[in-house]
Amino acid sequence: MSVAFLALALAAASPLADAPAAPLDTARAASEAAPELAARTLAAGRAEQAIAALEKSSAADPRDAAVLINLGIAYAQTGNDTRAREAFRQALACEEVVEIETADGVATDSRRLARKALKMLERGEFRTAAAATGQLTYRDR
């Protein structure tokens, strides 16, 4: 899974539990109150800008797994692996599991995506090409 794919993956989230359909006015109000997921900002490579928006969303609802996952991605893209790991673990620990639709239209649950993001972080897959260029390799020593 590529970094861009995961960054774009979090454009829509909804509870997995079956719920009766909401009236149109209720649905409209819910979408207007939806948290900022900053998927486009992340995909555009503006992680610092995404962090600002995502931290506001997370402060409003610290148990929103989709926000926490995107926040983790943004932290990872800026090189802050410690905060990224913390955000992914918080998403994994959320009581409410939400369905998240990925950029390619595949739906997955938030816990599965948080586990995948943790593995990607450990493998260094969130590092941008510019950040990776500045790192020493075995041959550079």
What are the Cα distances from residue 52, in Å, to 12, 133, 134? Answer: 19, 26, 25
Query: What pTM does this model have?
Result: 0.72
Domains of the chain, earliest start first: 3-15+34-128 (1.25.40.10)
123: exposed, middle or buried (C-beta count within 10 Å: 0-12, 13-18, 19+)? exposed
> Which pLDDT belongs to residue 113?
94
Cα separations in angstroms, 70 against 76, 82, 137, 139: 10, 15, 29, 34
Q: Measure the CA–CA gap between 43 and 47, rounded to whole angstroms.
A: 9
**Is 9 strand, coil or helix?**
coil
The pLDDT confidence band at residue 10, using thresholds 50, 70 and 90, is very low
Closest CA to 114 of 96, 129, 132: 96
For 20-71, the pLDDT digits (tens) are 443 434 333 333 456 788 988 988 889 999 999 999 999 999 999 999 999 9
Strand, coil or helix: 45? coil
